[in-house]
Amino acid sequence: MKIIRRLTAVCLAAFLVCLLCSCSNSNESAEIESKTATTAQPTQATTKPEDTSAQFAHSYDCLDDVEKEIYNKIGRKVNYNFPAPFTINCEATEKQIRTALDGYRNDHPEVFWLLSQYSYYYCGGKTTVYLFFNDNMSYDEFIDAKAEFDKTVDKIVANAPKNASDYELELYANNYIIENCSYNREAAESKELVDNANDAYGALVDGSAVCEGYARAFQLLCTKLGIDCVMVYGINDNVPHAWNCAKISGEWYHVDTTNNDADEYFNVNALLNLNDEQMYAVSELNPFFDEISEEQANDISYNTYVPKCTSTKYNYYRNTFCVISDIEDSDEAVQEIADAALDGEEYAVFLVDDNLNFEDTLYTLTDGTLSMWIDEANKLNDDNPKLNVQGSVNYVDKTRIIALELNYI
């Protein structure tokens, strides 16, 4: 889940045209740190970026006027494959440059070749900024890679279900990624960028990525399918992590495609459409750009916009499996076990509703209640197939999941 920020500064001889000019550069690389923070909202009236290729531009809306100017000029330079300079008519701070660059990259996951690397210098009250691009490709290779990437994305979008709801389209995008991309552990353990593991190209073309690549690919597909989606930075299992928030039928939800790509059936898509309480029980949010100092700007991955997620309506488990809200009302749970047995499933999966204490519910279910439910399911199926009433239980307390392993006789 490692997120790497490449911040190599370059001071070219051509810059030294005048002793009156001051030259400032960035030359650091660091992993992100954690800090809990509240949701950031745009602090000023929403305006449109000059680069209108982003259907949703939440990061842009959070920027100040100088940062917006930098953002817009980045948009005019991204189709080059060599260091691309531009100048603005003021002395922008390093934090403003960093925030604008990160904001552009976060609003444009399709620009996979743009690095977080940059350099800058001041001269005559102006700031010249140099952008850097993926240096693993020549210009011809870049053109070929972009064409292949665009073709792949267009094909994925064209194969999406027709006349589908936001939830169905979101599920399609999520499932495409977890079925066609593998987590790149080598890249996650490296202190350097490895190929395209941190971007959407790695996830969608190479089929190999770390969490940031998963998140950028999901954001891109959702945006192409008309779903508002942003990327979020935080901490999961004490390591840097990235995931998304997606707006489904008017409500925002957390989506973690990396951890949805699970080996166990009962954990697949466990982090699809969680609210804040559910998501922050398993992951911690990084600080927002307006909460960090100038010195911290290049040391951590921060958030520009994270919406409040309060709904559980389109939670994947709530919409896919049986929800236990009253242990005494067992009809739906028994039917779930019976149907899973008829389908030859390995598990019958349940979501414990928020109105129940998870530990108390788990104790009650494993203390004879599940055995009774299995017995009732056998009766519904006329013992064809027949299940052993002593089935074992797997559970994930943080996501309130209980998976009953079905043992066929």
* Domains of the chain, each with CATH number or no CATH: 13-133 (no CATH), 139-316 (3.10.620), 321-405 (no CATH)
Question: Strands 322-324, 347-352: parallel, antiparallel or unpaired by DSSP?
Answer: parallel
Determine the pLDDT at residue 168. Answer: 98
β partners of residue 323 = 351
Assign 47 a pLDDT band (cuts: 50, 70, 90): low
Q: What is the mean pLDDT of residues 154-176?
A: 98
Is residue 78 within 8 Å of residue 42, measured between CB atoms?
A: no
Q: Please check the confidence at residue 2 and state whether its pLDDT lies above 70.
A: no
Give the mean pLDDT of 360-379: 97
**Average pLDDT estimate for 157-186:** 97
pLDDT higher than threshold 80 for residue 306: yes
Question: Please, how many CA atoms are within 13 Å of residue 225, restricted to the half-sphere of its CB?
Answer: 32
Whether the per-residue pLDDT at 399 is higher than 60: the answer is yes
pLDDT at 6 over 60: no
- Provide mean pLDDT across the span 364-384: 97
CA distance 329 to 60: 50
pTM recorded for the entire structure: 0.85
Task: Provide the pLDDT for residue 26.
Answer: 41
| Residue 215: per-residue pLDDT | 98
Does residue 183 have a pLDDT over 70?
Answer: yes
- CB 272, CB 174: distance < 8 Å: yes
What six digits make up the tokens of 157?
């979008």
Q: Which residue would you say has higher pLDDT here, 2 or 149?
A: 149
User: Can you count the helices (H) and strands (E) in the chain?
Assistant: 14, 14
| Among 73-87, 142-156, 194-208, the least confident range | 73-87
Per-residue model confidence (pLDDT) at position 135: 75
d(C-alpha 293, C-alpha 289), whole Å: 8
Residue 313 pLDDT more than 50? yes
